[in-house]
Copies of this chain bind each other. A is one copy, B any other.
Amino acid sequence: MDALDKVIEAAGADVYLMYASSQDPDIRYLTGFTTSDPFVYFKRRNDRGTVIVSHMEAARAARESKAAVMTRTSAGLPEILKRESNLWKATAMMIAGQVGGKILVPPTFPFALARALSETCTIIVDENGLASLRAVKSPKEIRFIRQVQKCTEQAIDTAITMIRRSRVKSGKLSLGNKPLTSERVRSEMHKTLIGLECRTTDTIVACGKTAAIPHAVGNGPLFPDEPIVIDLFPQDEKTGYYSDMTRTVVKGEAVPEIRDMYEAVTEAHDLAVSEIRAGAIGAEIHQSVIEFFSDRGYGNGTKGFVHNLGHGVGIEVHEAPSLGPFGGKLLAGNVITIEPGLYYPKIGGVRIEDIGMVTARGFNRFTNYPRELEL
């Protein structure tokens, strides 16, 4: 019995049902199929699951998906649409022709479809089944994440090399006689990643005060003696798996406040890593970093350490488990980031993020790249 079968059995359901495009990581995880249009997936215990796709996608689905393939036409949708013009109701009727009884759906299952189906079936919500199922990685998934982490390090190295080789001109960084901007560094990182068949968005190259806003991507000139936060989370185009990495650097000399923050973040990082092992509680590790920072005089409200310590990574860049206030027990095979950071609007921000796997005894770090503040 596979992991999803156990979820179906535990819920007392007859079948598991999804309707989503492969932008939904759960359906991509379960089917191995990627398409921009939503499709139906259902699975009974002890079968390999079935997808219902357009006839245009059927051949590709048969090649790429782990599931059996039906077309909407063979499932009767064109006939149904002759008497029911509402596409949601018609889709529900098509699904009801294939499955019935107690149907387990994810919390994000479309309400319009659930409502139409509940006229003939019982809908049960799978509150958290797939999140915890996905959180424990198989050896194959570990390999995929390590592969994309290698590419991530190459892209970080592209950025840091550019900043290292830059010179100061009129108070700004310059490289090859052109101003070195956030956009230019980001663009070169993305070129590196494209050459490695990875895609990525919202890469952060944030300098100075902008670095104090954790999610601001940054734009315009880069300045000497100010912190530059570089954070990227590429996805391998082939496998769909992500990694996530952050480094903070200064071209020139950091002010004492930034140097102190960097040292505190580095120590917080090492402290967190030392506490990771199967059975440790995410919330407790997060809390011990809060306390460590507090002892150093750094807060954790709207300034200071303002976000979670870390998160799971897989077919989604943020997934279970959480290393935050609500984080539960870590399990061997979880892949997580450790990313303490400190942010002060009048000074700037510092963050260091590594990724690795929770093991029975500790943390198997995948990231293999120096932590170095001043270039």
Contact = CB atoms under 8 A, between A and B. Distances in A.
A362 to B, nearest CB: 29
Interface in A257-308: 302, 306-307
A191 interface: yes
Q: Count copies of this chain in the complex.
A: 2
18 contacts: A23-B23, A34-B202, A36-B202, A36-B318, A55-B302, A57-B215, A60-B215, A86-B127, A107-B113, A109-B111, A109-B112, A110-B111, A111-B111, A112-B125, A115-B125, A187-B195, A190-B194, A199-B199
Contacts of A81: 326
Which of A81, A194, A318 neighbours the largest number of chain B CB atoms within 10 Å of its CB? A194
Nearest to A316: B36
Nearest to A55: B302
A351 B197 CA distance: 26
A265 to B, nearest CB: 17
A122 interface: no
Which of A86, A88, A110, A127 neighbours the largest number of chain B CB atoms within 10 Å of its CB? A110
A133 interface: no
A336 to B, nearest CB: 17
Contact of A107 (B111, B125, B127, B201): B111
A183 B195 CA distance: 9
Given A194-B190, A195-B187, A318-B36, A107 B123 contact: no
